[in-house]
């Protein structure tokens, strides 16, 4: 065997890029305007005492994105591609949710029922995407392009083209704050979703199967893994995330606008996955990385707003930061860094040997 210089460090190295990005944003804000981080208690319109400030709005605002990023990570890992129909899917989910809510008074039971209904509907679409990918061996981006194109029109059709509003205390609580609770509810929903994922990863072989299928599908099949089912499952899991994200957004706004709800969120979700250090070509994955990625994106957006950048131009700045981020994390730059470190270590070793 060739001599080994050192063991490659693998532990947590995948989280370095997203954490660094977060750190840079934080440092920038500390220098630019320390009050960026001030959190205060205010009384909102409905008389609740709630936390307010940029930190809270980052945590709160990234909720939908964080949830979608988790699902997107699983799909990316298993299929080596991305689902670009999540925004359109959320429109369908939201429309179905509103349609069911509209049929009665918004009691807890009805909300739960509506959520289940929209979950089921969107899971069917997820299964459709998954079937195209798993059974017909179509690249995920292409397969989901279909729903991306048609999804919002399907949502339009659900509510007959109207943009109905929904109201109700409970819905308001879900999208905002529960009385007496200063932390916004969507944050708890993210935590709950994350916990569900953690449990699934702990008590099933989801991670092993998904990674194996994503890395080498043929080999996985020869080891008895039902690769078709795993890919399908990944899309269904993402669909559940889409349903949750869609419902959160509907509760926040109190209405469903099929054309604008979670518009372009698929792009952000994919970015979150990439920033989180996950290879977009599939294989090993880190949910934590993707969630951090989601908060990085939201922090960036909030920072830009705080800098009084007009909302339409935010995209441009975001793009520059993203390019800088992925450039730093690119394989070529990484290789150069490793090389530099190796030659440094060798030199030090040589110097140590000489003395």
Distance from C-alpha of 96 to C-alpha of 88, rounded to nearest angstrom:
13
Query: By C-beta, is 110 or 215 nearer to another protein?
Result: 215
Query: By C-beta, is 156 or 178 nearer to another protein?
Result: 156
CB of 270 to another protein, least distance (A): 7
Site membership for another protein, residue 316 (CB under 8 A): yes
320 HSE (CA, 13 A, CB side): 5
Sequence-separated (6 or more) residues with CB below 8 Å from residue 145: 84, 85
CB of 184 to another protein, least distance (A): 27
Our CA angle for 196, 197, 200, nearest 5°, is: 85
Q: Rule CB under 8 A: choose which of 63, 79, 193, 227 binds another protein.
A: 227
Q: Rule CB under 8 A: choose which of 30, 41, 42, 313 binds another protein.
A: 313
Which helix (H) or strand (E) segment holds residue 52: the answer is strand 49-52
Residue 166's closest CA among 96, 237, 75? 96
Query: By C-beta, is 37 or 157 nearer to another protein?
Result: 157
Q: Rule CB under 8 A: choose which of 39, 157, 169, 192 binds another protein.
A: 157
Query: By C-beta, is 256 or 322 nearer to another protein?
Result: 322
CB of 199 to another protein, least distance (A): 12
Query: By C-beta, is 48 or 228 nearer to another protein?
Result: 228
Our CA angle for 172, 173, 176, nearest 5°, is: 80
- Encoded one letter per residue, x for contact with another protein by CB under 8 A and - for no contact, window 133-152 reads -xxxxxx-xxx-xxxxxxxx
By CB under 8 A, the residues from 238 to 277 that bind another protein are 267, 270-271, 274
181 HSE (CA, 13 A, CB side): 13
Query: By C-beta, is 78 or 189 nearer to another protein?
Result: 78
CB of 219 to another protein, least distance (A): 5
How many residues at the interface with another protein, by CB under 8 A? Answer: 84
- Encoded one letter per residue, x for contact with another protein by CB under 8 A and - for no contact, window 5-24 reads xxxx-x--------------
Query: By C-beta, is 27 or 333 nearer to another protein?
Result: 333
Whether 245 contacts 67, CB under 8 Å: yes
Site membership for another protein, residue 132 (CB under 8 A): yes
Distance from C-alpha of 86 to C-alpha of 76, rounded to nearest angstrom:
13
Distance from C-alpha of 307 to C-alpha of 59, rounded to nearest angstrom:
18
Residue 64's closest CA among 290, 244, 185, 202? 244
**CA torsion sign, 137 to 141 to 145 to 148?**
positive
Site membership for another protein, residue 204 (CB under 8 A): yes
By CB under 8 A, the residues from 330 to 349 that bind another protein are 330-333, 338-339, 342
**The two three-digit tokens of residue 55, written as one number:** 């930190």
Query: By C-beta, is 45 or 218 nearer to another protein?
Result: 218
Distance from C-alpha of 294 to C-alpha of 276, rounded to nearest angstrom:
8
């Amino acid at each position: 065997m060739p001599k080994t210089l050192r063991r490659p460090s693998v532990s947590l190295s995948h989280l370095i890029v997203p954490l660094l990005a977060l750190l840079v944003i934080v440092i920038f804000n500390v220098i630019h305007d320390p009050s960026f981080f001030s959190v205060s208690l205010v009384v909102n319109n409905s008389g609740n005492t709630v936390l307010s400030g940029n930190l809270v709005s980052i945590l709160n605002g990234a909720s939908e994105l964080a949830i979608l990023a988790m699902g997107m990570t699983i799909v990316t890992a298993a299929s080596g591609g991305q689902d670009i129909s999540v925004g359109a899917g959320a429109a369908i989910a939201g429309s179905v949710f509103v349609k069911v809510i509209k049929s009665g008074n918004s009691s807890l039971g009805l909300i739960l029922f509506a959520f289940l209904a929209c979950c089921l509907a969107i899971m069917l679409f997820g299964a459709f995407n998954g079937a195209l990918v798993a059974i017909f061996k179509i690249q995920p981006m292409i397969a989901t392009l279909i729903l991306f194109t048609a999804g919002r029109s399907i949502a339009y059709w659900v509510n007959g083209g109207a943009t109905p509003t929904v109201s109700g205390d409970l819905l308001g609580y879900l999208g905002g704050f529960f009385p007496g609770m200063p932390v916004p509810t969507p944050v708890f929903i993210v935590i709950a979703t994350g916990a569900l994922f953690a449990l699934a990863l702990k008590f099933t072989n989801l991670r092993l199967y998904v990674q194996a299928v994503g890395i080498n599908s043929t080999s996985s099949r020869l080891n008895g893994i039902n690769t078709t089912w795993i890919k399908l499952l990944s899309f269904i899991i993402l669909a559940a995330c889409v349903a949750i994200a869609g419902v959160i957004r509907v509760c926040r706004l109190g209405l469903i606008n099929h054309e604008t709800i979670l518009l372009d969120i698929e792009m952000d979700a994919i970015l979150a996955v990439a920033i989180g250090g996950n290879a977009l070509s599939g294989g090993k994955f880190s949910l934590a990385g993707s969630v951090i990625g989601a908060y990085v994106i939201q922090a960036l957006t909030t920072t830009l707003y705080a800098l009084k950048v007009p909302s339409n131009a935010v995209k441009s700045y975001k793009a520059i930061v993203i390019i800088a981020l992925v450039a730093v994390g690119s394989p070529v730059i990484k290789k150069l860094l490793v090389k530099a470190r190796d030659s440094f270590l060798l030199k030090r070793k040589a110097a140590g040997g000489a003395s």
